[in-house]
Structures are given as structure tokens and as C-alpha cells.
Amino acid sequence: MSNPRILILGPPGAGKGTQSANLAEEYDVQHITTGDALRDNKDMDISDMDTEYDTPREYMEAGDLVPDAVVNAIVEEALSQADGFVLDGYPRNLDQAEELEGMTDLDVILSLEVPREELVERLTGRRVCDDCGANYHVEFNPPEEAGVCDECGGELIQRDDDNEESVRNRLDVFEENTAPVIDHYENRESFVIIDGEQTPDEVWDDIETAVDARVE
């Protein structure tokens, strides 16, 4: 199989990161996320774009939201350097989806679907070690001792954006901005809905089947 170009979509907590890592390993392609692309190209010269700053780094250091035009340019640069990819976290809105049309052709578009209350349970149950960053879940992947990291003995905490109010807000933002992106792709032959409520192994089986059926 030659270097498939894969887009993976889904709400926070759907498992995109896990399955993107599986795809990158199985098909020997690059895992491209917006965050990684920004970090890798933070000193890119954008002085010709009539933006407030001349590099993405200046936006990031100021704590300002990087404009769509800059994100689009950075993603395009990352895609141009990749010999096959799984794109995760972009496009986040319909304007970005339309920009992506001019950057590349997609072989497979995967949409992970998980019921909202399941997502809330997954995200609010996450715990992170305050020392080493190891991840746990109070139900699905608990530590041997409650509140204590198996790896280093550090304290497990709930991140601020994993409390229920923040989680529900993030899901609202996804539904408002990114759901139209899914509508944009859903009638294409390359588009596949994946039941993300299954176990990670079952989800991966369905993803692998979908990719193999669409890429020679």
C-alpha cells in the first residue's frame, strides 16, 4: 500500500490520537496535527500575509489565537513535506475544509462517532500525573492505587479543561464548528463512519478495513 492520505475527524475524547498513532505506524505515514505543525513551523515567515505578527511564534508567545490564514499555510507546508499522512485536528471549520481541497486529495476520510454522554464520561474521568504526565482514567484505566501514579508515585490530577462544564463547552464548540465539516464530506466515497464507542481494538479493526478497501 502506497502512502495513503487520511483525514480523521471526531469530537474530543473520540480516540483520534490513539487511532492516528495506529495509522501512522501501520501505513508508515506521518501523523500531522495542527499543534505539531505550528510548533514545527513556528518561525515560518508570514510577513507577506498582512497579519499582526511576522511569524507564528509571535502569536504563540503572546497567547493569541493563530489566524486561520496562518494555520492554513502551515498545514499546507506540512502536507507538502509528507509522503502520505494522517491529518488530525484540521480542518476545524468549513472554511478550513474548503482550503484543504486546494492543498491535497484525500484517499480516506474517517469520522469517529461517539455518543455525547459517553464522551463526557471519558473526558471527565481522565487523570494526569502532575509529575511525569502519565495518563489514566478512573474507570477504563485506573492506577493501582487511587490518585497515585503507577510510574513515578506522583499525584494524579484532573486537568482544568476536563471538568464537566469545560468538557460540555468543548463538545458544544465542536458541534457548532466541526459538525458542518463532517456534513461537507459525508456523501463522498472516501468517507467512512466508524463506531467509536467500541473498544480501541475493535475501532482499529474497522479503521484498518476501511483504509484497506479504499487504498491500493
Catalytic residue among 5, 57, 127, 159: 159
CB 124 within 8 A of CB 213: no
Residue 214 designated active-site: no
Count Cβ atoms within 10 A of the Cβ of residue 78 and give its class: 0-12 exposed, 13-18 middle, 19 or more buried. Answer: buried
- Please report how the helices 200-214 and 16-27 are oriented relative to each other, as an axis angle in degrees rounded to 10: 50
Residue 159 designated active-site: yes
Q: Write the CB contacts of 198 (distance below 8 Å, at least 6 apart in sequence).
A: 206
Q: What is the SS3 assignment for 141?
A: strand
CB atoms within 10 A of CB 201: 8
Residue 42 designated active-site: no
Count Cβ atoms within 10 A of the Cβ of residue 57 and give its class: 0-12 exposed, 13-18 middle, 19 or more buried. Answer: middle
Which amino acid would we find at residue 83?
A: D
Catalytic residue among 42, 57, 92, 116: 92
C-alpha cell at 162: 476536563
Residue 39 designated active-site: no
Catalytic residue among 5, 16, 122, 127: 16
Q: What is the SS3 assignment for 193?
A: strand
Residue 126 designated active-site: yes
CB 126 within 8 A of CB 136: yes
Catalytic residue among 5, 122, 127, 170: 170
Catalytic residue among 5, 122, 126, 127: 126
What count of residues does the chain have?
A: 216
Q: What is the DSSP letter of 65?
A: P
Residues with catalytic roles? 16, 92, 126, 159, 170
